Chain A
Amino acid sequence: MKEFEPGDNAASIVSVTDRVRPVAIGMPVTAVHFLGDTAAFVGAEESVAMVSGKGEISRVPVHGGGILCAASDGMRIVMGGDDGKLVTLSAKGEVTLVNVALHPEGAMAWSAGKTAFVRSGKGEEKSLDVPSTVGGLAFAPKGLRLAVAHYNGVTLWFPNMAAKPEYLEWAGSHLGVVFSPDNKFLVTAMHEPALHGWRLADSRHMRMSGYPGRVRSMSWSAGGKSLATSGADAIIMWPFASKDGPMGKEPAMLAPLQARVSMVACHPKQDILAAGYSDGSILMVRLNDGAEILVRRNGTAAVSALAWNSKGTLLAFAAEDGDAGLLGL
């Protein structure tokens, strides 16, 4: 398997739909993460479907009831469920109840209601109460620092320091949160169809609006030069390469279709991204010239999960109805 290089003559739409290996997950899928080359399709309830590179499916039960959230570091997936349990899933399909497990390889954070919890790599657990229910969590790329999004702002917390957590205020409900890979910016997806950003050095505000729908998917391009977002009928790419980030700049709009972008996933190494749409179509798009390659045709349920493996050689996707696929490049 070699790494994917888009050809120079890819100006018109090229289709790779014949190379997609369909996968019948048979349940609604809300997220997909790679554990090595195994694509783990996280269901809306009960179980995760682990799909090997060869397309073999095994179902792993993880929760009794709905699966509410899932995060992955490429080694494991941590999921919280309606059953009040937090579990991790390894590439081998081992499910461990987090509350009784100690995983030495790295910190993890989770929330329940208005409390955010952090467990360090050493297994120390700390918690922080914020004013309202936690909307989203993100670790800073450097140091053990956690961003906790909630109503009316974001709390930045160093769990290992006694200092009072920093509070970045902006009216409204903040649901998703990401740090830029260079640790200079923090961006939240709001309940309103807009993003809000802060430059961390001086807490300067950046309001990124104009979306027709709520932004549910954000992905940093390789190297963190731009932030790809869903929520419009084109991929909206905000420039973050300069020190001012997107302040005073227009976003780039790529791959417009007659459907809303529902998921975005930037390639981990190349300036390419994959985007899924509300009509089921999936495109790969080259960032510098917007050249498109068709991965999946339209006419089905909305794309609800999209991910690259860490090498960038496999793309996994799933739609709301459980129809899924793998593309090897």
Chain B
Amino acid sequence: MPELTSKKIPVTVLTGYLGAGKTTLLNRILSENHGKKYAVIVNEFGEIGIDNDLIVGADEEIFEMNNGCICCTVRGDLVRILDGLMKRKGKFDAIIVETTGLADPAPVAQTFFVDEDVQKNARLDAVVTVADAKWLSDRLKDAPEAKNQIAFADVIVINKTDLVSKAELAEVEARIRGINPYAKLHRTERCQVALSDVLERGAFDLDRILEIEPEFLEAGDDHDHDHHHDHDHHHGHSHGGLKHYHDEDMQSLSLRSDKPLDPTKFMPWLQNLVASEGQKILRSKGILAFSDDDDRYVFQGVHMMLEGDHQRAWKDGEPRESRLVFIGRELPEQTIRDGFERCITT
């Protein structure tokens, strides 16, 4: 079917708790001399004033979909706004969606998986979360929204680092890593981050799961390392109390296997898992080696929604290893591990 333009417009979702610096980052993106035009979907007009870009107001209407998926919600206003913007293609190069400080990023992300017309014209590029170096640790204790935003992120900009000591910064980073060891972290003052670090990340692009692999593969090791390090550090400064920076209810879980997986067992298992535990699973990703299959299979998911495909042939000498990552709330770790074990060929 001939499409008007084959190139999908990249969409960056900008989240962050109240006061973390979302608007600062947004203004930085817009005022930078990058020669690009953005359509920006904001909840409050206000401090954003840029002539060259298209600013559209949103009202965060959360709609449930009647597709049998109980946690499947989309942003109804976003569907409408994107629909309108797509009639004006050529007027902008990319879209940035700024959410309110209290927003759950899931309905925004799900909008890009569920709606056919949105999917045809736009692609989710990444969820970028701005975190306040000084206050995030406190917010993670009392604001579930802040925790969701960290858990969901592909890129986390730790802002206002000039307002905290090195020790405080280390602590907040460790707390972030305790929830989401896979996101790219950037430390900034006044959101001074290279635009290439927050835009055009391709975080939801199945083909680029390969490119993010280094962090993805090393993540488990980094995770442990960070923990031990911060553990000692922490005690050294006698902040007391917390033994590990494992978050009490939001965790990540990584699985791996050197032996190939049985696709006839794995696929139903994964589908059942997200169907039954999808409300708890915020994000999932995986690179899989199936028995009798010379191609790598990659998948990613948001809550109950999964998308996956054969990516490319395994290279000679490349270890045929399967790796999966889940980030979620109160993940039933043992059940997931046991289920996964049963999908490994013997």
Residues of A within 8 A of B (CB): 28, 30, 44-45, 66, 68, 82, 113, 132-133, 151, 171-173, 190-193, 213-214, 258-260, 278-280, 299-302, 320-321
Q: What residues of chain B lie closer than 8 Å to A190, measured between beta carbons? A: 66
Q: What residues of chain B lie closer than 8 Å to A191, measured between beta carbons? A: 63, 65, 76, 79, 115
Q: Are B67 and A192 in contact (CB under 8 A)?
A: yes
Supposing A278-B1, A279-B1, A299-B2 touch, asked if A45 and B88 sit within 8 A by C-beta, the answer is yes
Q: Are B87 and A44 in contact (CB under 8 A)?
A: yes
- Chain B: interface secondary structure? loop
Supposing A171-B66, A192-B65 touch, asked if A28 and B88 sit within 8 A by C-beta, the answer is yes
The distance in angstroms between the C-alpha atoms of A83 and B117, with both chains bound, is 25
Q: Are B117 and A113 in contact (CB under 8 A)?
A: no
Residues of B within 8 A of A (CB): 1-2, 4, 56, 59, 61, 63-67, 76-77, 79-80, 84, 87-89, 91, 115-117
Q: Are B4 and A192 in contact (CB under 8 A)?
A: no
Q: Are A133 and B2 in contact (CB under 8 A)?
A: no
The distance in angstroms between the C-alpha atoms of A171 and B70, with both chains bound, is 13
Supposing A45-B88, A278-B1 touch, asked if A173 and B76 sit within 8 A by C-beta, the answer is yes
The distance in angstroms between the C-alpha atoms of A82 and B41, with both chains bound, is 13
Partner of A300 from B2, B56, B61, B84 at Cβ < 8 Å = B2
Supposing A132-B61, A133-B61, A133-B76 touch, asked if A321 and B4 sit within 8 A by C-beta, the answer is yes
Partner of B76 from A113, A151, A299, A321 at Cβ < 8 Å = A151
The distance in angstroms between the C-alpha atoms of A173 and B83, with both chains bound, is 15
Q: For the complex formed, measure the closest distance between the CB of B7 and the CB atoms of chain A, giving whole angstroms.
A: 14
- Chain A: interface secondary structure? loop
The distance in angstroms between the C-alpha atoms of A299 and B76, with both chains bound, is 32
Apart from A192-B67, A193-B116, A260-B1, 17 more pairs, CB < 8 Å:
A28-B87, A30-B87, A44-B87, A45-B91, A68-B84, A132-B61, A132-B76, A151-B63, A151-B76, A171-B66, A191-B76, A192-B65, A213-B117, A258-B1, A279-B2, A300-B2, A321-B4
Supposing A44-B88, A45-B88, A192-B66 touch, asked if A151 and B116 sit within 8 A by C-beta, the answer is no
Q: What residues of chain B lie closer than 8 Å to A171, measured between beta carbons? A: 64, 66
Q: For the complex formed, measure the closest distance between the CB of A214 and the CB atoms of chain B, giving whole angstroms.
A: 6
* In the A-B complex, the 5 residue pairs with the closest CB atoms: A44-B87, A301-B4, A172-B66, A173-B63, A44-B88
Q: Are A28 and B89 in contact (CB under 8 A)?
A: yes
Q: What residues of chain A lie closer than 8 Å to B84, measured between beta carbons? A: 66, 68
Q: Are B116 and A320 in contact (CB under 8 A)?
A: no
**Could you list 13 A-B pairs, sorted by A, with CB under 8 Å?**
A44-B87, A66-B84, A82-B56, A113-B59, A133-B61, A133-B76, A172-B63, A172-B64, A173-B76, A191-B115, A192-B67, A259-B1, A280-B2
Q: For the complex formed, measure the closest distance between the CB of A4 and the CB atoms of chain B, giving whole angstroms.
A: 30
Q: For the complex formed, measure the closest distance between the CB of B82 and the CB atoms of chain A, giving whole angstroms.
A: 12
The distance in angstroms between the C-alpha atoms of A92 and B65, with both chains bound, is 45
The distance in angstroms between the C-alpha atoms of A45 and B116, with both chains bound, is 24
Q: What residues of chain A lie closer than 8 Å to B76, measured between beta carbons? A: 132-133, 151, 173, 191
Q: What residues of chain B lie closer than 8 Å to A68, measured between beta carbons? A: 84
Q: For the complex formed, measure the closest distance between the CB of B57 and the CB atoms of chain A, giving whole angstroms.
A: 10
Q: For the complex formed, measure the closest distance between the CB of A52 and the CB atoms of chain B, giving whole angstroms.
A: 25
Q: What residues of chain B lie closer than 8 Å to A260, measured between beta carbons? A: 1
Q: Which B residue's beta carbon lies closest to that of A132?
A: B61
Q: Which B residue's beta carbon lies closest to that of A172?
A: B66
The distance in angstroms between the C-alpha atoms of A279 and B77, with both chains bound, is 28
Q: For the complex formed, measure the closest distance between the CB of B216 and the CB atoms of chain A, giving whole angstroms.
A: 34
Q: Are A133 and B64 in contact (CB under 8 A)?
A: no
Q: Which B residue's beta carbon lies closest to that of A259?
A: B1
The distance in angstroms between the C-alpha atoms of A268 and B60, with both chains bound, is 40
Q: Which B residue's beta carbon lies closest to that of A300?
A: B2
Q: What residues of chain B lie closer than 8 Å to A28, measured between beta carbons? A: 87-89
Partner of A133 from B66, B80, B88 at Cβ < 8 Å = B80
Q: Are B77 and A133 in contact (CB under 8 A)?
A: yes
Q: What residues of chain B lie closer than 8 Å to A44, measured between beta carbons? A: 87-88
